[in-house]
């Protein structure tokens, strides 16, 4: 083991200068495993946003320390997933280690016996859609937008050797979350990317079901309506000074493409707005982690390049 890797293995949570959140919130480590000379760890904590215990995973690359904090890629997973799917299946940790990038993967919803649920796979626990619910019984816990945008980054920056430089990515429902959150917070993220994202939930069955349940009947005149969580609607309203680089990879053999993902709608809006997004149409690929693992190196490189404004290490070229 190199000295750099050895130092990484002894990093303790909470070694950074604490902020007001760190003084209030304690986190509990539930697992730790060495991977590519870095550490993959899972934690739980009581969330003030979701009013329940939340899980997240973090990968810290070798060499991360309070003296050498690393940038963070936030990954949002899709329907039925937890913090584990991406970390275990995507093959991203190798490239994050090479680049010196942390990855944080939250759960996809609040969970627990006291948290409202639904028997369907596409609503309730495991399907939070990264919105702030306004309808009972979901509004008590389903505040995933606030959790991902505000609470989780503050907790990560207070307790781990990371910098404030961050980007965001995701898959399917998580791709929706990543693009939507980046469009609403363009100064918080250096870039965003997505695999097979739900880009126009206003117009697809998955989105309509989730938004109706979490947000109630849509009122297009209401600033708190569904459009605030729709990537196409948000991009249509974006101003050039709010543009950030984006990358979307979409498999052409994805069985959800025409009914649920509606990627062509995003392409049309992006062309009209001259938005700096690259949409890649990839022949023969479907919606699975086989697809994600085939192109995750490309996405990690995209994020690292934007994090460092083109100053890319040779390992990430």
pLDDT, residue 220, reads 56
Tell whether the model's pLDDT for residue 145 goes beyond 70. Answer: yes
| More confident call, 222 vs 254 | 254
Q: Do the domain assignments include residue 238? A: yes
Question: Which residue among the candidates 172, 193, 196, 249 is catalytic per the annotation?
Answer: 172
In angstroms and rounded to an integer, the radius of gyration of the C-alpha atoms of the chain is: 19
Active site residue 258: no
Active site residue 55: no
Q: In the predicted model, what is the mean pLDDT of residues 102-127?
A: 98
Domains: count for the chain:
1
| Strands of 162-171's sheet in order across | 27-35, 38-46, 53-60, 102-106, 70-76, 162-171, 192-195, 246-251, 277-282
93: its two tokens = 């940790």
Question: Which residue among the candidates 40, 141, 176, 287 is catalytic per the annotation?
Answer: 287
DSSP state of 151: I
DSSP state of 143: B
Q: Do the domain assignments include residue 300? A: yes
| More confident call, 314 vs 117 | 117
Tell whether the model's pLDDT for residue 206 goes beyond 70. Answer: yes
Tell whether the model's pLDDT for residue 314 goes beyond 80. Answer: no
Q: How sure is the predictor about 219, in pLDDT bands with cuts at 50, 70 and 90?
A: low
Range of the domain at 26: 3-312
Q: In the predicted model, what is the mean pLDDT of residues 209-219?
A: 91
Tell whether the model's pLDDT for residue 14 goes beyond 80. Answer: no
Query: Tell me, what CATH number does 289's domain have?
Result: 3.40.50.1820
Q: How sure is the predictor about 98, in pLDDT bands with cuts at 50, 70 and 90?
A: very high
Tell whether the model's pLDDT for residue 35 goes beyond 60. Answer: yes
pLDDT, residue 65, reads 97
Query: 172-198 pLDDT, tens per residue?
Result: 999 999 999 999 999 999 999 999 999
Query: Of 10-14, 22-26, 103-107, 228-232, which gets the smallest average pLDDT?
Result: 10-14
Q: Do the domain assignments include residue 171? A: yes
pLDDT, residue 225, reads 85
Q: What is the mean pLDDT of the chain?
A: 90
pLDDT, residue 313, reads 43
Q: How sure is the predictor about 316, in pLDDT bands with cuts at 50, 70 and 90?
A: low
Query: 276-297 pLDDT, tens per residue?
Result: 999 999 999 999 999 999 999 9
Q: Do the domain assignments include residue 24? A: yes
Percent share of the chain, pLDDT over 90: 86
Tell whether the model's pLDDT for residue 5 goes beyond 90. Answer: no
Q: Do the domain assignments include residue 33? A: yes
Q: In the predicted model, what is the mean pLDDT of residues 287-315?
A: 85
Parallel, antiparallel or unpaired: strands 192-195 and 162-171: parallel
Q: How far apart are CA 276 and CA 247, in angstroms?
A: 9
Bin 196: left if φ > 0, else alpha if -120 < ψ < 50, else beta. left
Q: How far apart are CA 34 and CA 50, in angstroms?
A: 30
Active site residue 254: yes
Q: Do the domain assignments include residue 186? A: yes
| More confident call, 12 vs 254 | 254
What is the helix (H) or strand (E) element at residue 37, kind and residue range? none
DSSP state of 232: H
Q: Do the domain assignments include residue 209? A: yes
Q: Do the domain assignments include residue 317? A: no
Percent share of the chain, pLDDT over 70: 88
DSSP state of 260: I
């Amino acid at each position: 083991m190199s000295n750099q890797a050895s130092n990484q293995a002894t990093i303790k949570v909470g070694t950074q200068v604490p902020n007001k959140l760190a003084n209030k919130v304690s986190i509990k480590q539930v697992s730790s495993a060495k991977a590519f000379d870095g550490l993959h760890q899972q934690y739980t904590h009581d969330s003030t946003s979701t009013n329940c215990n939340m899980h997240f995973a973090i990968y810290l690359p070798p060499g991360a320390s309070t003296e050498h904090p690393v940038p963070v890629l936030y990954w949002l997973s899709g329907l039925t997933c937890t913090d584990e799917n991406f970390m275990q299946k995507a093959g991203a940790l190798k490239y994050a280690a090479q680049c010196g990038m942390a990855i944080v993967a939250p759960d996809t919803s609040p969970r627990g016996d006291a948290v409202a649920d639904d028997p369907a796979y596409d609503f309730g626990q495991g399907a939070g859609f990264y919105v702030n619910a306004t309808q009972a019984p979901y509004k008590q816990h389903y505040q995933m937008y606030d959790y991902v945008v505000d609470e989780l980054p503050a907790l990560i920056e207070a307790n781990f050797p990371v910098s404030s430089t961050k980007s965001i990515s995701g898959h399917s429902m998580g791709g929706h979350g990543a693009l939507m959150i980046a469009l609403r917070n363009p100064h918080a993220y250096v870039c965003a990317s997505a695999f097979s994202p739900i880009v126009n939930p206003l117009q697809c069955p998955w989105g309509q079901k989730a938004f109706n349940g979490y947000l109630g009947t849509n009122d297009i005149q209401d600033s708190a309506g569904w459009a605030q969580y729709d990537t196409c609607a948000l991009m249509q309203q974006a101003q050039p000074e709010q543009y950030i680089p984006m990358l979307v990879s979409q498999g052409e053999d994805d069985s959800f493409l025409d009914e649920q993902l509606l990627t062509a709608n995003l392409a049309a809006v992006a062309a009209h707005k001259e938005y700096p997004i690259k949409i890649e149409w990839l022949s023969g690929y479907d919606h699975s982690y086989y697809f994600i693992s085939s192109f995750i190196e490309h996405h990690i490189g995209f994020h690292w390049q934007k994090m460092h404004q083109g100053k890319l290490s040779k390992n990430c070229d």
